[in-house]
Amino acid sequence: MTYMIDGHNLIGKLPDISLDDPNDEALLVQKLNGFSARTGKTCLVVFDHGLPGGSSRMSTRNVQVVFASGRSSADRVMVERIYKIQDIKGWVIVTSDNDVMSRARRRGMETMHSEEFALLLETPPPKVEDAGERTEVNLSSAEVDEWLTLFGDGTSPKENKKKR
């Protein structure tokens, strides 16, 4: 699945990146790289008014960065791409622009408001518990005997039972 994101719309909804920051685009791309690494999803982020327009050197394997050129806008670039996409089921369009969202929906594409994606982006990854970290381990007496035979003090399991 690929998220097509209106970059400046999303930045405006994030608590830790400001549109006034001259590095706001790079900070968002960095955040999207982390999201992509943790979820396995890819992103295409479109920003307004880049010089020159088109693909950016900020792009990575999982996050493609595109700047609208000249008099174009991120909205226009997104709409053009929405109509060119063949496999519409593999995309989610992320924007705050109602026109872009309604065009994507008319094509049958999944959409998400920038506010929703901002929450998704800020959600910490789920903690994966390593089986070795479990504090409560319940072993059967047969398992205890097996461990004692393998790693015990050299006595037989029957002798260990007598000691318990």
Q: Cα-atom radius of gyration of the chain, to the nearest Å?
A: 26
Quote the CA–CA distance of 59 and 146 in Å, as a whole number: 54
pLDDT value at 42 more than 80: yes
Lowest-pLDDT choice from 27-36, 96-105, 128-137: 128-137
pLDDT mean over 56-73:
89
Task: State pTM to two decimals.
Answer: 0.74
User: pLDDT at position 22, please?
Assistant: 92
pLDDT value at 51 more than 60: no
pLDDT mean over 102-109:
97
The 10s digit of each residue's pLDDT in 126-138 is 777 766 666 677 8
Burial class (CB within 10 angstroms; exposed 0-12, middle 13-18, buried 19+) of 12: middle
Identity (one letter) of the amino acid at 105?
Answer: R
pLDDT value at 24 more than 80: yes
User: pLDDT at position 164, please?
Assistant: 55
Quote the CA–CA distance of 33 and 121 in Å, as a whole number: 11
pLDDT mean over 58-68:
93
Residue 108: pLDDT band (50, 70, 90) is: very high
Give strand pairing partners of 4: 44, 93
Q: By the 8 A CB rule, do 34 and 136 touch?
A: no
Q: By the 8 A CB rule, do 66 and 55 touch?
A: yes
Query: Domain 2-122 adopts which CATH fold?
Result: Rossmann fold (3.40.50)
Quote the CA–CA distance of 77 and 64 in Å, as a whole number: 14
Instruction: State the residue for tokens 């026109």.
Output: 99
Residue 70: pLDDT band (50, 70, 90) is: confident
Quote the CA–CA distance of 145 and 157 in Å, as a whole number: 5
State both tokens at 65.
């960065």
In the chain, where are the structural domains located? 2-122, 137-163
Average pLDDT score over the chain:
87
Residues 6+ apart with CB under 8 A from 56: 50, 65, 66, 67
pLDDT value at 157 more than 80: no
Burial class (CB within 10 angstroms; exposed 0-12, middle 13-18, buried 19+) of 120: middle
